[in-house]
Structure 1
Amino acid sequence: MSRVYSNAVLITALSESDAGQVVRSSSSQPGLMTRMLEALDVHDGQRVLEIGTGTGYNAALLSHRLGDDQVFSVDVDGDLVDAARSRLAAIGYQPTLVTVDGAGGLPEHAPFDRIIATCSVPAVPWAWVEQTRPGGLILTDVKPAVNAGSLALLRRTDSGAEGRFDRTYAAFMGLRKQGEAYTSVSRPRDRSDAAERATTVAPETLQNLVVWFLAALDIGAGVSCGYTGSDPAQAPTAAWIATADQSWAEIDLEPDGGAYRVREGGPRPLWKTVENAHATWVQRDQPGWERFGLTVTRNSQWVWIDDPDGAHCWRIHT
């Protein structure tokens, strides 16, 4: 019971895949849920759609605040939905729970005043925008690539939706589709096409989540990263990035004469993209998440710094 009330993420369901066990569902930190509900700014009489039912905890909080007839929640996993429905009924709540691909929202019950997603998406599904009332809010974790992005609070406009990222980083599991298998990009075994050079941008740059976000906006989806070494029993000696098109980069963790050795291969120089992202971040006075915004229209989505009409914009590949 102490774990349930701790401010920690709890893994609640696992699945088997070719890569081994992967997380199918988790219960987010209560502190993060509270932060999101405060940002959602719900009022009496408003209708809320939750994307990602999970355990049903968030739906319970919303039902307590608004009444269960105002709360709708969807999840791709029917077993999770059934279990959440039983838990909610046991404490007297009967919100509308539906097993469906969350990317499509719940059009038969639209429009909604608020949409909250407890999962991450590479881009905001247009269905969510269409199903939000004018002036309504959409709160979701936007991540064009792994670990690259954070919570964005968007307001429905005449042409789509627009808003800013929350100042504090947050992370959720990715939105899953029915029958979707877990896939990841591996570090290429054949690195015979490597070009070697030096860089002054340290490998620790990958741990700067804002810089990684900027890099990932250029790299696009289907990117993985990690650490490697010649001896698995020893500490890693290099960091790596790889993409589905067989582009890859590997950078030594220890400098040599003030610079780091980089090896790159494939059609795109990935570490050069990281270097460019770092340079942009420095040139723009090292912006935090709160200076980033997102604009969503039917045909395009783009991230911007400070001004949606400014020079520093990046299109999200949808």
Structure 2
Amino acid sequence: MTTHLDTDWTWRARRLADDLETRGDLTDPAWKTAVAAVPRHVLVPEAHQQDSTGTWQQLTTDSGEGLELAYSPTTLITQLAHRGSHRESTSSSTKPDLIVRMLETLDIHDQHRVLAVGTGTGYTTALLAHRLGDRNVYSIDIDPALVETARTRLASLGHHPTLDTRDGADGLSEHAPYDRIIATCSVPRVPWSWAEQLTPGGAVLVNVKPNIHAGNLALLHRHPDRLEGRFTERWAAFMTMRHHPHNQTPPTPRASTEGTEPRTRTTTTPPSPWWDNRVVWLLAQLHGMPTGVTIGMRLDPDTQQPAAATLTAPDGSTAEVSLTASDDSRHELTETGPTHLWDPVEHAHQTWLEHDQPDWPRLGLTATAHHQWLWLDHPDNPSHWSL
């Protein structure tokens, strides 16, 4: 028996597939068919949105408004965790346009075996199962509740791929080798276990991100002794891969810099590369930026508009760069604490200028069992930096 809901979601799913094709996100007819056939609202029956005050509100996706969201190129937040006085997202259903771009970038063929790292809601897994069949699709997530929920919802759609609860960095060795690995979480370095589980010539697509906003998707191919490839032209970012508690480094207590004298000078480096020039921001991590630095903004107390970009390190060091430049394009910089946080950004910006302002396609990555490094234009280029 066909219900009103069945009719509502099917035309919306077809519309989404048509829209993704029109936008250029989707060119393969097989993936277009999968997008039109997979009921995303079944896999994401509930989602969370922030209202104008920043408060999280829950909505269901079986209503008209909810269905519009489910079948739009929108990331749906599906899991929240309490972080002191606020809640932050810990799992989501990735934007369909990004997922299909990733699937097309991986050049998946009909007989390929694919491992999806980060099961989440199961939407990516469902697209893969529709295209490849259950026996060629494997998916893992560290969260057992997410895995079991996805298993149940996928089964209700007639899909029974292999799902397991694992730390994503470990892969799923007992079912290897895989022709392709797709990760919908970010990693500071590519796990070598993934290379060991790929077929010769196989490929992995993963967001390599040593710090917030500092990185991009990298398409890496398996060679006998390494993974190697380039970053994608369009920028994308995912939540950081979660690990079991015993595999995590305890956070470093933030030291106090109370009583230390601020250091003031000017800089010609633009103040917020993490938003305005993410290539420079990635290079800054490889030019000595300390681990665990957070970014932010200082608001003008009168206008409540952003007045300065800020960096804060675990050792308590800070940097604040005015967003307003002087007539000679210089920005006021104030630093406190033992670490000069803006120096790596300035060095990275200078490197970027010296190499003709490269964008993502000129940057590549090589990963071996023991070392990983970023290179420019060609793997043998002497311009490279260790991750």
Range class of TM-score, shorter chain: over 0.9
- Checking the alignment, whether the CA contact within 8 Å between 1:225 and 1:242 is kept in structure 2 is yes
* CA displacement, residues 36-74 of structure 1 (integer Å, 9 cap, x when unaligned): 000111123221111000110100111111111111100
| Whole-angstrom distance in 2 between the partners of 1:21 and 1:275 | 34
Matched to 1:87, the amino acid is: R
Matched to 1:26, the amino acid is: S
| Whole-angstrom distance in 2 between the partners of 1:187 and 1:58 | 42
2:340 corresponds in structure 1 to 269
Secondary structure at the counterpart of residue 151 of structure 2: helix
Select the residue among 297, 317, 321 that pairs with 1:251: 321
- Checking the alignment, whether the CA contact within 8 Å between 1:162 and 1:295 is kept in structure 2 is yes
1:125 corresponds in structure 2 to 191
- Report the Cα offset of residue 187 of structure 1: 10
**1:215 aligns to 2:284 (yes or no):** yes
Q: How many residues align?
A: 316
- Report the Cα offset of residue 267 of structure 1: 3.4
| Whole-angstrom distance in 2 between the partners of 1:287 and 1:150 | 14
| Whole-angstrom distance in 2 between the partners of 1:267 and 1:155 | 41
- Report the Cα offset of residue 185 of structure 1: 9.1
| Whole-angstrom distance in 1 between the partners of 2:86 and 2:158 | 38
2:17 corresponds in structure 1 to none
- Checking the alignment, whether the CA contact within 8 Å between 1:187 and 1:240 is kept in structure 2 is no
| Whole-angstrom distance in 1 between the partners of 2:187 and 2:311 | 21
| Whole-angstrom distance in 2 between the partners of 1:178 and 1:76 | 8
Select the residue among 97, 103, 119 that pairs with 1:31: 97
| Whole-angstrom distance in 1 between the partners of 2:305 and 2:255 | 18
Secondary structure at the counterpart of residue 68 of structure 2: coil
Larger CA deviation: 169-178 vs 256-265: 256-265
- Report the Cα offset of residue 221 of structure 1: 3.1
Larger CA deviation: 220-229 vs 231-240: 231-240
Matched to 2:338, the amino acid is: P
- Report the Cα offset of residue 186 of structure 1: 7.4
Matched to 2:320, the amino acid is: E
1:102 corresponds in structure 2 to 168
Aligned pair in 2 of structure 1 residues 169, 295: CA closer, same or farther (>3 Å)?
same
Aligned pair in 2 of structure 1 residues 41, 187: CA closer, same or farther (>3 Å)?
farther
Aligned pair in 2 of structure 1 residues 233, 81: CA closer, same or farther (>3 Å)?
farther
Aligned pair in 2 of structure 1 residues 181, 302: CA closer, same or farther (>3 Å)?
closer
Aligned pair in 2 of structure 1 residues 191, 141: CA closer, same or farther (>3 Å)?
farther
Aligned pair in 2 of structure 1 residues 255, 45: CA closer, same or farther (>3 Å)?
closer
Provide the aligned C-alpha RMSD in A.
Answer: 2.2
2:118 corresponds in structure 1 to 52
| Whole-angstrom distance in 2 between the partners of 1:70 and 1:19 | 43
Matched to 1:253, the amino acid is: L
| Whole-angstrom distance in 1 between the partners of 2:259 and 2:296 | 16
Aligned pair in 2 of structure 1 residues 182, 208: CA closer, same or farther (>3 Å)?
farther
* CA displacement, residues 213-260 of structure 1 (integer Å, 9 cap, x when unaligned): 111222153121111146387223221112223332111222345321
Aligned pair in 2 of structure 1 residues 181, 275: CA closer, same or farther (>3 Å)?
closer
- Report the Cα offset of residue 110 of structure 1: 1.3
**1:303 aligns to 2:374 (yes or no):** yes
Ranked by relative contact order (alpha carbons within 8 Å, sequence separation 6 or more), the top structure is 1
Select the residue among 230, 239, 260 that pairs with 1:164: 230
Aligned pair in 2 of structure 1 residues 20, 181: CA closer, same or farther (>3 Å)?
farther
Matched to 1:16, the amino acid is: H
2:149 corresponds in structure 1 to 83
Structure 1: tracts of 5 or more residues without a match: none
**1:286 aligns to 2:286 (yes or no):** no
- Checking the alignment, whether the CA contact within 8 Å between 1:187 and 1:242 is kept in structure 2 is no
Structure 2: tracts of 5 or more residues without a match: 1-66
Runs of 4+ in 1 over 6 A off after TM superposition: 180-189
- Report the Cα offset of residue 308 of structure 1: 1.5
- Checking the alignment, whether the CA contact within 8 Å between 1:185 and 1:223 is kept in structure 2 is no
**1:236 aligns to 2:236 (yes or no):** no
Matched to 2:94, the amino acid is: S
Select the residue among 240, 249, 260 that pairs with 1:192: 260
Aligned pair in 2 of structure 1 residues 60, 182: CA closer, same or farther (>3 Å)?
farther
Matched to 1:212, the amino acid is: W
* CA displacement, residues 188-217 of structure 1 (integer Å, 9 cap, x when unaligned): 663724211111223144421111111122
| Whole-angstrom distance in 2 between the partners of 1:186 and 1:124 | 28
Aligned pair in 2 of structure 1 residues 261, 213: CA closer, same or farther (>3 Å)?
same
Identity over aligned residues, as a percent?
A: 47
Q: Which has the larger radius of gyration?
A: 2
1:139 corresponds in structure 2 to 205
| Structure richer in helix, relative to its length | 2
Matched to 2:161, the amino acid is: P
Secondary structure at the counterpart of residue 255 of structure 1: coil
